[in-house]
Amino acid sequence: MVVQVALPANGSSNGIGEVAIIDPLAVRNLRHLVDALHATTVVGHALTSDLKIFADQFEMLPAAVFDTQLAAAFCGYGLSISLLELVRDLTKVQLRKSQTVSDWSTRPLSPRQVDYLVDDVRYLFALQDALIQRLRERGRLEWVLEECRSLADATRYRPDQSRIYLKIPGNARLSRRELAVLRELSIARDRAARERNIPLKYVIPDDAMIGISQIRPKKIEDLMQLRRLDNGIRRTFGKMIIDAVRRGEAVKEEELPAKPVRSLTAQRESLVSTMNVLVNAISAENELPSTLLVPRSALERVARDLPQTYEAFVETLGLAPWRRELIVEPLWRFLSGRVPLRIEGYDEGVPRTVVGEP
């Protein structure tokens, strides 16, 4: 990883002053940088993965962020526009991307690599200015600022430790007691992986997590029953595993985790698909990605819970306030049978899904 930081000229966002390239292989302690970013607004492109690194490693994020890729989505560019494309469209500059597949682990960095790194941040303030102007013209600036505030919320990058076991394939076939063991194992594994900065599978593979939860070993020697646990894992994490199993065994009966919710029935899957038709129609009409409006998981919650009042419906969806008028209210009226969907332009070869009466 290499960190590039562009500073505005004369304290203004109208232009770039200096660009600093920080090499974590040479500068091991980035705390001063993290503290400085925590006190300012950071402009970047596709910031989520970068912010997650800061949240994981330093438990600290910038005071505010402006994500040019996210802002571009609200301007009709889609969710995955590249920095190169956005710079070309908004500033008419063609960036050189010859170093995209470069080996960034070698040192020293070549002049071409340095130029590439500088170009990655050189135009961010210009993009911010251009996008803000377009967002104001479309009345969407507050929408973007609200979404960017959520990006700078550290809780976004901290998984609910009590629920991470639900991501492990095969958990649905476990008993409630076995789920309690799996939950404790998952928390311990996640902590160990973070401390060592290694993938979860290098601590305990997923299938071994299910096996451990089923056999519930009492001592390290019992782990020999699991072929997926090699000697290195048993030696390094054996005690951690046995301790986690013991905690799972000690959970009181009334506090055992509930069995995972089963998959939706065919009829409720159909309801999700039907709601998605309306979501896609509204997203197309407003030139916004449908996933930016409503994630599928929110629609599945509605199909599972079937909220009976508008207030309960809003709570079940759990969406940001800017989406209320745009998508939440039409979706509620649609489910209540008050707003129909129809197709226009089919005979002319330009079909369009339309929400509401003709």
Residues 113-152: b if buried by 16+ CB within 10 A, e if exposed: bbbbbebbbbbbbbbbebbbebbeeeebbebbeebbeebb
Place of tokens 């970068």: 50
Q: What is the CA radius of gyration of the chain?
A: 25
Q: List phi, psi (to 5°) of 311.
A: -60, -45
Place of tokens 């170093």: 99
pLDDT at 27 over 90: no
Q: 153-179 pLDDT, tens per residue?
A: 988 888 888 889 999 999 989 999 999
Q: 83-122 pLDDT, tens per residue?
A: 999 999 999 999 877 666 677 788 888 888 898 899 999 9
The CATH-assigned architecture of domain 3-157 is 2-Layer Sandwich (3.30)
> With helix as H, strand as E and coil as C, how does the chain read?
CCEEEEEEHHHCCCCEEEEEEECCCCCCCCHHHHHHHHCCEEEECCCHHHHHHHHHHHCCCCCEEEEHHHHHHCCCCCCCCCHHHHHHHHHCCCCCCCCCCCCCCCCCCCHHHHHHHHHHHHCHHHHHHHHHHHHHHHCCHHHHHHHHHHHCCHHHHCCCCCCHHHHCCCHHHCCHHHHHHHHHHHHHHHHHHHHHCCCHHHCCCHHHHHHHHHHCCCCHHHHHHCCCCCHHHHHHHHHHHHHHHHHHHHCCHHHCCCCCCCCCCHHHHHHHHHHHHHHHHHHHHCCCCHHHHCCHHHHHHHHHHCCCCHHHHHHHHCCCCCHHHHHHHHHHHHHCCCCCEEEECCCCCCCEEEECCC
Angle, helices 124-138 vs 141-151, to 10°: value is: 130
Q: 276-314 pLDDT, tens per residue?
A: 999 999 999 999 999 999 999 999 999 999 999 999 999
> Does the fold of domain 266-355 match that of domain 164-255?
yes
Q: How far apart are CA 192 and CA 171, in angstroms?
A: 21
Q: How confident is the model at residue 14 (pLDDT cuts 50, 70, 90)?
A: very low
Contacts (Cβ under 8 Å, ≥6 apart) of 161: 187, 190
Token pair in block for residue 162: 């009590």
pTM above 0.85, yes or no: no
Q: Where are the domains of the chain?
A: 3-157, 164-255, 266-355
Task: Determine the pLDDT at residue 13.
Answer: 45
Q: Note the Cα 308 to chain centre separation in Å.
A: 30
pLDDT at 12 over 50: no
The CATH-assigned architecture of domain 164-255 is Orthogonal Bundle (1.10)
Closest by CA to 357, choosing from 333, 344, 341, is: 341
Task: Determine the pLDDT at residue 100.
Answer: 66
Q: 185-220 pLDDT, tens per residue?
A: 999 999 999 888 888 999 999 999 999 999 999 999
Q: What is the mean pLDDT of residues 317-336?
A: 91
Closest by CA to 241, choosing from 176, 170, 189, is: 189
Closest by CA to 84, choosing from 93, 73, 76, 72, is: 93
Closest by CA to 295, choosing from 274, 267, 276, is: 276
CATH value of 266-355 in 3.20.20.70, 1.20.1370.20, 1.10.150.80, 2.60.120.10: 1.10.150.80
Kindly give the pairing relationship between strand 64-67 and strand 41-44: parallel
Q: How confident is the model at residue 16 (pLDDT cuts 50, 70, 90)?
A: low
